[in-house]
Structure 1
Amino acid sequence: MYFHQRLFVIWLLFLTIDIIYADRRTQAKRVTAERGSDLSLSCTFQDEDSDKTIVQWLYQNVTDSNINHRTHKIHWRPLFLNAQSLTPSETRYSIQQKIQQINDTSIAYITILTLSKVNESDEGLYICKSLSPKTIQMAYQVRVIQSLDINPTEVLISTDEIGQYSIRLNCILTDSHLEERHHEIHWWHNNKRINTNSNRHTRITKNFTRHSFISTLFYTDEPANIAGIYMCEADPIRKYIPVELKSNQSSDLLIDLYLIFIIEILLSIFQW
């Protein structure tokens, strides 16, 4: 019991220091989440003893941040202290902890915060902080978009195609706050990042509407080189589309009928 009381006092102390020195934080990693999906944020800390590792998760809502900038106050919502939930009424938050042995004297302490069915109210700054003697923290700036879609959903290229062939793929990011923030979309082909500067066969264009950012990939090459799995990414959201080579069954059927017709003619001639 005494240990838990001591742990709680230490947490309060570090939380107070955390608020006082909030402006000295490390650069936050920008993370995009799709509304209705699950989002996981992870932090890894190296320590000598897992029993002495104390990690806290804190959250600052976008709305709170905007209000506090005017009042010169910083308001953080504590989420977890190690595996202990500090917001038991919020059931969409969960925590997972892993411990990996690095060597004889140190371990890697991994903590993963998961938000289920995210919505716009979850936007904001998330910080995980190790309260070990060597204080380490990581920060995530979470933004929630409405959707990320790719169309068409699949592309079939006939094996009868000869020479150069062109495809067009659209990746559409829908965000009600598009005018207020910047997004990046990247394309991949068979797990290789598409770089239009080094690939003369590809071209990427960007278009904007009021709430949509559209990245369009144009690819012209031989069908065998075009085929594969394509991915558009708005980190960490990824959407996939297959481009497949498929034989023209109708053409094959015509060829079969033609061969049957020729065979019947030959048989009739021989019988005659």
Structure 2
Amino acid sequence: LVGSPNIRYTSGELDSTISLRCEIAQLPFNAVITWVYRPKIPTVNGIKWLPLYANARRLAQNNRRFIVDYSGFNSQTQTHLSILTINPLNPSDEGLYMCKSNQHQSTANMYNLTVTPSMKILPNDGTIEIHNLQRSLNL
């Protein structure tokens, strides 16, 4: 990769849907766009990049919450577009997501995703439900 990728910080609410957009220019029409993920919480074998998608082909067979909309090469804009959608968001989804090309001189798009607790205020009894920790506060 040429230079360091730009890291975009983003967050999504627990159990919601989030989409991460990747647009890479100046690649040949047959370039492969790959999404990889590095969890915030270390795995047993240490932190490593886990492959999710190559173009529209799913690489993570055990996780159907990840979906890619791969538009491919746009000849008018000379770009490749790939959008990774996660639905629903889980706490384990926190971490770094990178979209990159198989081309030597290409740059990458990187997202640092934080999952925030969801909150619901019940109108009649003054209870606030915070779903991340499964606790309730009475006012």
Amino acid at match of 2:54: L
* Aligned with 1:101 (options 68, 75, 94): 75
**Is 1:44–2:23 an aligned residue pair?**
yes
Q: TM-score, normalised by structure 2?
A: 0.75
Identify, as 1 or 2, the structure richer in helix. Answer: 1
Amino acid at match of 2:106: T
Residue 83 of structure 1: aligned partner:
56
Confirm or deny: 8 A CA contact 1:37 1:117 kept in the other structure.
Answer: yes
**Is 1:146–2:124 an aligned residue pair?**
no
Map 1:7-46; keep pairs closer than 5 Å.
Answer: 25-46=4-25
Amino acid at match of 1:58: V
* Structure 2: runs of 5+ lacking an equivalent: 124-129, 134-139
Task: Determine the C-alpha separation between the residues in 2 that align with 1:58 and 1:94.
Answer: 13
Confirm or deny: 8 A CA contact 2:15 2:118 kept in the other structure.
Answer: no
- The CA deviation at 1:132 is 2.0
Once superposed, what is the RMSD of the aligned Cα atoms?
2.8
Task: Determine the C-alpha separation between the residues in 1 that align with 2:108 and 2:80.
Answer: 13
- The CA deviation at 1:109 is 0.8
Confirm or deny: 8 A CA contact 2:8 2:112 kept in the other structure.
Answer: yes
CA 1:102–1:60: 2 relative to 1, 3 Å = same
Higher Cα Rg, which structure: 1
Q: Where do 4+ consecutive residues of structure 1 move more than 4 Å? A: 174-177
- The CA deviation at 1:81 is 1.2
Confirm or deny: 8 A CA contact 2:118 2:132 kept in the other structure.
Answer: no
Deviations 1:40-77 (A, max 9, x none): 10110123532x21111110111127x84xxxxx4111
Map 1:72-221; keep pairs closer than 5 Å.
Answer: 74-98=47-71, 99-102=73-76, 107-147=78-118
* Aligned with 2:38 (options 60, 72, 85): 60
- The CA deviation at 1:130 is 1.4
Deviations 1:125-155 (A, max 9, x none): 00011122422101100001112679x9xxx
Aligned residue for 1:28, secondary structure, equals: strand
Task: Determine the C-alpha separation between the residues in 2 that align with 1:93 and 1:176.
Answer: 20
* Structure 1: runs of 5+ lacking an equivalent: 1-17, 19-23, 69-73, 153-173, 178-272
Confirm or deny: 8 A CA contact 2:56 2:68 kept in the other structure.
Answer: yes
Confirm or deny: 8 A CA contact 1:47 1:53 kept in the other structure.
Answer: no
CA 1:83–1:175: 2 relative to 1, 3 Å = same
- The CA deviation at 1:100 is 2.4
Aligned residues: 123
Task: Determine the C-alpha separation between the residues in 1 that align with 2:20 and 2:98.
Answer: 10
Larger relative contact order (C-alpha < 8 A, sep ≥ 6)?
2
Percent identity of equivalent pairs: 27
CA 1:145–1:53: 2 relative to 1, 3 Å = same
- The CA deviation at 1:108 is 1.4
Identify, as 1 or 2, the structure richer in strand. Answer: 2
- The CA deviation at 1:26 is 2.7
Task: Determine the C-alpha separation between the residues in 2 that align with 1:48 and 1:30.
Answer: 25
